[in-house]
Amino acid sequence: MAKKRKKIALLFAGGGSLLSIRSNKSIFFVNQKEDMEAWLKEIPELTILAEIQPWFNLGEGQPFTAETIERVVTYLKEQEPHFDGFVVLCRAERMVQLAVACEFMLQGYSKPVIFTGSRYAPMAVAEQDIKKITKMGGLGLRSNVINAAQVASSDDFPVMAVMFGNRLIKPSKVAIANFRGINLFRSIDEDYLGKVDFGITLYRNKYRKGEKRYYDELSDEVTIVGKGLLRPTYEQLLTVGNKKKSVLLVHMLENEIVSDEQAIVLAQKFESIVAFNEYYVLEQPRSIIPLARLTWETALIKVMWAKAIAGDRQKFAQLLHENLINEFVAL
């Protein structure tokens, strides 16, 4: 009896820049729903691996927002019973946030969801640079999406994972390794869900099934202060209008401490203040919620997710400190 072909949904959320199999000069990408058929013809291997059903969410030239993420989550939730697995295409700089959001918003999901995509937008690749980019690991999408489809077709391994180069990584552990290398990403704790060598090896013992809990949205009531030279001063933050219902998330400098005076004034502006540090927690004033041992992308999404579902500040702080999807990194 012939083995039944797996049914895989292919979600276009930007990030599908693909070199033509005929010339290595033309770039195929999906900017509207009508582009999907021509794009799929450039990777005939996909239809050999599984029955592929494309779904259009976002074109290459369209803005990527929280609503983009919520549409992907809604589709995955509604289509969970109808497919054996899902492959989500998203450009590299957006991919981690989308994948982490799906981890938080679709906890205990029963099907594999594999995120991959190209690292370059099509408008960023000049024709004379294509050969050089290809030599260095290139747009990388062809092998990435074929490998992703194979993992999405696997039995009894319903992970959410980023597939890039020869590594399969849990989204909340993804960090940039080398933007120009074949392996754009690495796992922050060097622990992987699978690797590609002569074939794909899946580490099934790494998967932990959690209780099924689904959520619909991310909060837009989060004011984000990044790390770097252009970050605003606390004095500039105090000029922000009344954000009493909002959360202030600050990517702290390595040894930065909020003074008691600053904490008092900020607490009058914001409902909650979260002080994020990747590696360790410095003692902050009691009104500050510390958050550490996470990647920045995971911290950002976790704060937006927790703010959306928490009824009050106490519940919000409790959610931030719980290891909900095994997101905390052991250092």
HEC profile of 285-316 = CCCEEEEECCCHHHHHHHHHHHHHHCCCHHHH
pLDDT above 60 for 24: no
> Which of 115-119, 128-132, 271-275 has the lowest average pLDDT?
128-132
DSSP one-letter code for 206: G
> Which of 112-126, 153-167, 201-215 has the lowest average pLDDT?
112-126
CB 128 within 8 A of CB 51: no
> Which of 51-60, 241-250, 314-323 has the lowest average pLDDT?
241-250
pLDDT above 70 for 140: no
Q: Which two tokens stand for residue 321?
A: 């400190």
**CA nearest 193: which of 175, 205, 180?**
205
CB 207 within 8 A of CB 322: no
Q: What is the pLDDT of residue 22?
A: 58
What is the band of 1 on the pLDDT scale with cuts at 50, 70, 90?
very low
What is the band of 2 on the pLDDT scale with cuts at 50, 70, 90?
low
Strand 243-251 to strand 213-214: parallel, antiparallel, or no bridges (unpaired)?
A: unpaired
Higher pLDDT, residue 104 or 246: 104
> Which of 24-38, 95-109, 263-277 has the lowest average pLDDT?
24-38
Q: Which two tokens stand for residue 79?
A: 């289509």
**Spacing of C-alpha 226 from chain mean position:** 18
What mean pLDDT value characterizes the chain? 86
pLDDT above 90 for 163: yes
Q: Is the dihedral of CA 295, 299, 301, 305 positive or negative?
A: positive
Using CA atoms, how far apart are residues 188 and 191, in angstroms rounded to an integer?
8
Mean pLDDT of 26-52: 86
Range with the largest mean pLDDT of 38-47, 106-115, 123-132: 106-115
Rg, the chain, Cα only: 21
Higher pLDDT, residue 39 or 187: 187
Name the residue with tokens 């005939």. 44
Q: What is the pLDDT of residue 126?
A: 52
Using CA atoms, how far apart are residues 223 and 273, in angstroms rounded to an integer?
10
pLDDT above 70 for 138: no
Percent residues over pLDDT 90 in the chain: 52
> Which of 52-66, 133-147, 211-225 has the lowest average pLDDT?
133-147
Higher pLDDT, residue 107 or 210: 107
Q: What is the pLDDT of residue 128?
A: 47
Q: Which two tokens stand for residue 271?
A: 């409902």
CB 170 within 8 A of CB 298: no
CB 153 within 8 A of CB 50: yes
Q: Provide the H-helix boundaries in the chain.
A: 36-41, 44-49, 66-79, 92-105, 130-135, 141-152, 234-237, 260-269, 296-309, 313-321
Sorted by sequence, the CB contacts under 8 Å of residue 88 that are 6+ apart come out as: 11, 13, 72, 98, 99, 102, 113, 114, 115, 116
Name the residue with tokens 């702080």. 317
**Spacing of C-alpha 304 from chain mean position:** 14
Which amino acid is residue 61, in one-letter code? G
Higher pLDDT, residue 152 or 156: 152
pLDDT above 60 for 10: yes
pLDDT above 60 for 270: yes
Using CA atoms, how far apart are residues 274 and 164, in angstroms rounded to an integer?
31
Q: What is the pLDDT of residue 229?
A: 63
Q: What is the pLDDT of residue 136?
A: 45
3-state SS class at 79: helix
pLDDT above 90 for 305: yes
> Which of 1-10, 61-70, 299-308 has the lowest average pLDDT?
1-10
Strand 113-116 to strand 106-107: parallel, antiparallel, or no bridges (unpaired)?
A: unpaired
**CA nearest 119: which of 25, 12, 17?**
17
> Which of 132-141, 230-239, 257-266 has the lowest average pLDDT?
132-141
Using CA atoms, how far apart are residues 120 and 18, in angstroms rounded to an integer?
10
Higher pLDDT, residue 173 or 42: 173
Q: What is the pLDDT of residue 122?
A: 58
